[in-house]
Structure 1
Amino acid sequence: MIKIVGLGPGSSGDLTLKTLDIMKSAKKVYIRTFKHPNVEYIRNSGIEFETFDDMYDSAEDFDALYLEIATKVASEDNVVYAVPGHPLVAEKSVQHIIKICEENGKEYEIVTALSFIDAVVSAIKIDPITGLKIIDGLQLDTQEPDINVSNIVTQVYSPFIACDIKIKLMDYYDDEQEVYLIRAAGVEGLEKIEKMFLYEIDRADWVDYLTSLYIPPCTKNRKYNFNDLVSVMKTLRSEEGCPWDREQTHKSLERYLVEECYEVLDAIRKDDIDNLSEELGDVLLQVVFHSEIAREYDGFNIRDVVHGITKKMIDRHTHIFGEDKCETSGEVLSNWDKIKMKEKSQETYTQVLKDIPLSFPSLMRALKLQEKVKKVGFEFPHIEDTISKIQEEFEEVLKAHKNGNNKELEEEIGDLLFSVVNFSRFLSINPEICLTNTIEKFIKRFEYIENKVLESGKTLNEATLGEMDRLWNEAKGIKEGI
C-alpha cells in the first residue's frame, strides 16, 4: 500500500489531522521537496522523512524527474508520499505513481487536502462557477488559455520561466492585459499578491516556486480568436444582424470565395506577408460564412468542418500517424493517392480523372489531369515528343483555319493548348503561372506605350498602330520594373 498525502497550500493550519496521523504512523515517509512552508512544521512534529531535492539538480527535465521519483516510490511497500497542495492537482509524479500501481495491481490511497487552487481562489475572491481554466505554465505549447474565462497559470517557478510564459501568453492577450502575480497564497507572512500588466510579470524579483499567475477574463483590448469569428458570423446572420449577410447563400458566395483565393495567390506572388495574413483571413471568413449557412439549413457546422479536415490529415498521413513507411515525397504522394481512392470508393483511374473539379481554370485542370495519368505511365517518354506534338497540333490549327471550319478550329486550338501544358509540365513549369506572368508583362509594356503617347500630347485613340508597335518594341528593350 502506498498512501499519497497532500501538504496543503503552505499554511500549517491547512494540514489535516488525518495527514499528520498517517505520516506519524508510517514506516517510511517521502516528501517530494523540502521547499514547502509546511515541511519545517512536519520536521518539528518529530516526523522523519526523505526528500528528492538532490535529484532536481541532475535531472534533464521535470518529466523525467517526476517519472524517476514515481518509480522509486512505487517500488516500495507501506510508504507515505507527501506532495505540496492536493495530490491530484498539478502533481505529475502522483499521476505516474497511480499509473504504475494500476499496471502492477498495487494498492494506493489518495488522501485529500486543500490545493493551491483553493488558496488562489480565496485570495483573489473569485467564484470558479463563472469559468476557470488551470494551465501548467510549462505546457503552454499544448495547453491554451481561454480568454473568456479566468485562468490560473501554475509552475511560475522563476523570473526566467515567467518570461517564457509571458511571451507565449502574448499570443492570446494584449501585453497590457491586467494580471495578478500570486506567491504563497494563503500562507501567513509569505503571501504576496500584486496586480500588474502581463508584460511586467518577469520583472518581479520575488517570483519563486510558490508563485502562480491569475488572469481575469479578457474584456478589453482583446486578441480575437477563431471562436470570436464564429460568434460574429452568427450575429451577422441572426434576425438582428446584417441584411446583406442574411441574404447570402452558398451559391451567391461562390464568386467571393474564388476572388479571395486569387487575392491570396496575388499576395504570395508579391511576397507581401502583411497582405497575405489579411487575405488568408478573408478566405477563412468565407469558410466560416458557408459553415454558418450550413448550420442553419444543411445540417453541418464549423466544428464538423474542422473535425473532417483534421481526420482527413490523420487518415492520409499513415506514415506519421499509422504504421506505413514513406521515406520520400514521391512515396508520400503515392500513398496519399491510394488512400484517397479508397476513401472515395474509386475503383478505376477514369473515376479519378472525372473527380478533378470542372470549376478549375482550364490550364490548371489540364495540368492536374496530366499529372494524374503520368502516375500510371501514360506519358511521352521524352520531352522532344511533346515538342513534336505542339508542332503537329499547330499545323492542324492552321489547316482548320484555312478550311474556315470554326468548330474544328476550336477543337484544334484546345488540342494545341493541351499540348503546351504538357510541354510545361515536363519542365516542371506551371502554365497558369506562365500565362499570369505574361499578362502582367503585357500590362507593364502597354502602360509604357500609354505614358509615352500621353507625353506626346496625343490620346491612345489618336496614336497609329505603327507608333504603338514601335513603342512596344522599345518597351521590350527596357528591363523589367518600368
Structure 2
Amino acid sequence: MQTIHIVPLSTPRTLTQAAWERLRAADRLFLLSAQHPCARPVLEAGLPHTALDALFDAAEDFDALAAAVAARLLDAGDCTLAVTGAPDALIAALTQAAGGRARLDVLPGVPLGLAAFPERVAARRLCANALPERLDPGEELLLEELDSRLLAGEVKLRLLEYFPDGWEAFVSEMGEDGAFSRRAVPLCELDRQKRYGPTTVAYVPAAPFEKLERYGFDELLSVLRRLRAPGGCPWDREQTHETIKESLLEECYEAMDAIDRGDDVDLAEELGDVLLQVAFHAEIAREQGRFTARDVTTGLVQKLVYRHPHVFGSVRADTSEQVLKNWDALKKVEKKQQSQADVLESVPKNFPALLRSRKVQKRAAAVGFDWDSAGDAFYKIGEEAEELSRAMAGDGSAAEEVGDLLFAVVNVARLLHIEPEFALAAATDKFIDRFRRMEQAALAAGRRLEDMTLAEQDAVWDEVKCGKPVGKS
C-alpha cells in the first residue's frame, strides 16, 4: 500500500528533529507552498522538491484545493508532503480522500498558534478562514493564518457577535529570524493593523459572563438556572408549567402585534419574551428529569430535516404547494395518524376557536370534503342564521346554532383566503375607532354618551360611519 508521509514544517524555530530527518530522507518531496515563510528551511537546505503553489492559484475553495492535492499525491506513489501554516483541516481532508488506497503517516509538530503563544496550550486553535458556525466566548481562542485585512474584518465581525467590542486581544507575527512578536489590540481594531500574513496569529482570551455584552441561548439557560437555584429569585423558583402556560400565549400575541405594527425593535424584544417562555418550560422539565433544552432543539432539527426531503434528500418539490403536500404526508406518518379524522383531531383544542375551525376545515378539504366555491359556502351562512333564529324562539340550543353560524362564516373566509382571526381583529379595531369618534362627536356637541338615547347614539354613529367631520351634522 502506498505511504504518504505528512510533515508539519511548523516554524523555523520549532521544526522537530524527526520532521527534519524525514524531509532529508524523502525520495519524493512535495512542498505545499514554497511561498510560505515556514518553508524557508527546505529552500535554504536545497532539498529537491515539487512545490504545489499552482494548485492554490487554481483552486476556487478549500475543498477544491484538498481534492487537487490528494489527486497529485495519490498518483505519486510513496512520497512526503511538507505542510505549512495550519494544516489540520487539510490533513483531515487528505485522510478521507486516501481511504483504503494509501496509508498516511502524520508526524507531530508544533502548531503555528502555539509557536506564537506557547503558554496558551489550553486555547482552542482555529484556522481564521474556517471558523465554526458557533463560538464560545468562555473559551480562549488561537486564530491562525490571519493573512489579510479583509479576512481580519470578517473574523472581527464574527467575534463581536460573542465578545465585547473593547475586549483585549493579542496579535503575533513571525519575523525573519523565526521569532514571534506580539502586541495587544482591542478586538474592534483587529482589522486595523499594519501587517497581515500567513504567520499572523490572533489570541482572544476567554470572556467571563459578567463581561459579555451579547448573549446566546446557552447564556439564557444559565441565567434561568441561576434564578431557579437556591438563593435565586423566589418568584422564578415557584413557577411550574401550569403557572406560566398562559404567558406563552400572551407573549406570542404581543410578538404578532409587533409584526403588525412593523416595529422591529419591539419585535426583537417580544421574540425574546417568547424564547424566554420556551427556555423556562425546558428548564422546568430538566429539573424534573423529563427532557432538556437540547432535547427540544434536537427534536426540532430532526423534524425539519425529515420534513424537507427536497432539501436534505432526493425528493423533488419545485413549488410551495408540493412542499406543503409532502410536509402534511410526512407529518401524518410521523404522528402515526391512521385516518383523516385523526388528522382533524390532532389540531390542538387550546387553539383560538376561529383558528382551530379553519385548520380543521382545511384538513377536511385535503381529502376533497369541501365546498366548490366561497359562493356556495355563503348560502350555508343563511341556513345557519335561520336555524339560530328558530333556536332563539325556543326551538333548539342557541349556543349550538351560534357555533354552527360562526363555523359557516369561517368556511367562507377560508375559501376567500381570508384569515378570520385577523379579519375579526380588524373589525374590532374599526369598531373601537368609530366608537371613539362617536364619543368625540358627542362631547363636541356638549353631550355625554351615557346621557343620550340609543336613537341619538345611532344617529351620531351613522354620521361617523359616513365619514362626516366630528361635531358637524
TM bracket (short chain): over 0.9
Corresponding residue to 2:149 among 159, 168, 173: 159
SS in 2 for 1:193: strand
Corresponding residue to 2:357 among 366, 369, 394: 366
1:221/1:100 Cα in 2 relative to 1: closer, same or farther (>3 Å)?
closer
SS in 2 for 1:65: helix
* Cross-structure match for 1:101: 98
* Cross-structure match for 2:110: 114
Q: Does the 8 A contact of 2:169 with 2:205 survive in 1?
A: yes
1:399/1:168 Cα in 2 relative to 1: closer, same or farther (>3 Å)?
same
Cα separation, 2, equivalents of 1:426 and 1:456: 45
Deviation at 1:224, TM superposition (A): 1.3
1:182/1:476 Cα in 2 relative to 1: closer, same or farther (>3 Å)?
farther
Q: Does the 8 A contact of 2:337 with 2:343 survive in 1?
A: yes
- The answer to whether the aligner puts 1:381 opposite 2:372 as a matched pair is yes
Q: For residue 64 of structure 1, what is the amino acid of its counterpart?
A: A
Q: Does the 8 A contact of 1:182 with 1:194 survive in 2?
A: yes
What's the CA shift string for 1:362-421, capped at 9, x where partnerless? 1111100000000000011232211111121122222222x234x522222211111110
Segments of 5+ residues of structure 2 without an aligned counterpart are: none
Corresponding residue to 2:397 among 403, 408, 412: 408
Give the TM-score, by structure 1 length. 0.91
Cα separation, 2, equivalents of 1:49 and 1:479: 92
- 1:45-194 alignment, distance < 5 Å: 45-84=45-84, 90-104=87-101, 106-122=102-118, 125-126=119-120, 128=122, 132-140=123-131, 142-184=132-174, 188=177, 191-194=180-183
Identity of aligned residues (%): 35
Deviation at 1:254, TM superposition (A): 1.6
Deviates more, 1:209-218 or 1:362-371: 209-218
* Cross-structure match for 1:307: 298
Q: Does the 8 A contact of 1:74 with 1:100 survive in 2?
A: no
SS in 2 for 1:461: helix
* Cross-structure match for 1:452: 441
Q: For residue 422 of structure 1, what is the amino acid of its counterpart?
A: N
Deviation at 1:243, TM superposition (A): 1.0
1:457/1:195 Cα in 2 relative to 1: closer, same or farther (>3 Å)?
farther
Q: For residue 181 of structure 2, what is the amino acid of its counterpart?
A: K
Segments of 5+ residues of structure 1 without an aligned counterpart are: none
What's the CA shift string for 1:267-321, capped at 9, x where partnerless? 1111111111111110111111111111122521111111111111112222222
Cα separation, 2, equivalents of 1:108 and 1:238: 51
Q: For residue 157 of structure 2, what is the amino acid of its counterpart?
A: I
Q: Does the 8 A contact of 1:67 with 1:93 survive in 2?
A: no
* Cross-structure match for 1:207: 196
Cα separation, 2, equivalents of 1:66 and 1:479: 76
SS in 1 for 2:143: strand
* Cross-structure match for 1:289: 280
1:137/1:382 Cα in 2 relative to 1: closer, same or farther (>3 Å)?
same
1:169/1:395 Cα in 2 relative to 1: closer, same or farther (>3 Å)?
same
1:167/1:371 Cα in 2 relative to 1: closer, same or farther (>3 Å)?
same
SS in 2 for 1:204: coil
Once superposed, what is the RMSD of the aligned Cα atoms? 2.2
Deviation at 1:437, TM superposition (A): 0.5
* Cross-structure match for 2:411: 422
Q: For residue 432 of structure 2, what is the amino acid of its counterpart?
A: I
SS in 2 for 1:126: coil
SS in 2 for 1:305: helix
State the number of aligned residues.
465
Cα separation, 2, equivalents of 1:215 and 1:475: 66
Give the TM-score, by structure 2 length. 0.92
Deviation at 1:479, TM superposition (A): 10
Q: Does the 8 A contact of 1:233 with 1:289 survive in 2?
A: yes
* Cross-structure match for 1:4: 6
Q: For residue 5 of structure 1, what is the amino acid of its counterpart?
A: V
Q: Does the 8 A contact of 1:166 with 1:202 survive in 2?
A: yes
* Cross-structure match for 2:422: 433
Corresponding residue to 2:217 among 226, 231, 243: 226
Deviates more, 1:56-65 or 1:23-32: 56-65
1:244/1:111 Cα in 2 relative to 1: closer, same or farther (>3 Å)?
same
SS in 2 for 1:202: coil
Cα separation, 1, equivalents of 2:338 and 2:199: 63
* Cross-structure match for 1:24: 24
Deviation at 1:35, TM superposition (A): 2.9
Q: Does the 8 A contact of 2:169 with 2:185 survive in 1?
A: yes
Q: Does the 8 A contact of 1:450 with 1:460 survive in 2?
A: yes
Q: Does the 8 A contact of 1:145 with 1:151 survive in 2?
A: no
Cα separation, 1, equivalents of 2:387 and 2:35: 88
Deviates more, 1:339-348 or 1:315-324: 315-324
Cα separation, 1, equivalents of 2:457 and 2:406: 28
* Cross-structure match for 2:262: 271
Q: Does the 8 A contact of 2:13 with 2:179 survive in 1?
A: no
Deviation at 1:252, TM superposition (A): 0.9
Q: For residue 143 of structure 1, what is the amino acid of its counterpart?
A: E
What's the CA shift string for 1:223-278, capped at 9, x where partnerless? 11111100111111112111111111111112111111111111111111111111
Corresponding residue to 2:233 among 210, 231, 242: 242
Cα separation, 1, equivalents of 2:178 and 2:76: 37
Deviates more, 1:365-374 or 1:385-394: 385-394
- The answer to whether the aligner puts 1:254 opposite 2:245 as a matched pair is yes
Q: For residue 5 of structure 2, what is the amino acid of its counterpart?
A: K
Deviates more, 1:248-257 or 1:459-468: 459-468
SS in 1 for 2:363: helix
1:166/1:477 Cα in 2 relative to 1: closer, same or farther (>3 Å)?
farther
Deviation at 1:333, TM superposition (A): 1.8
SS in 2 for 1:180: strand
Deviates more, 1:54-63 or 1:70-79: 54-63
Deviation at 1:25, TM superposition (A): 2.1
Cα separation, 2, equivalents of 1:46 and 1:155: 26
Corresponding residue to 1:322 among 313, 328, 352: 313
Q: Does the 8 A contact of 1:178 with 1:216 survive in 2?
A: yes
Deviation at 1:189, TM superposition (A): 6.1
SS in 2 for 1:138: coil
Q: Does the 8 A contact of 1:29 with 1:79 survive in 2?
A: yes
Cα separation, 1, equivalents of 2:141 and 2:263: 36
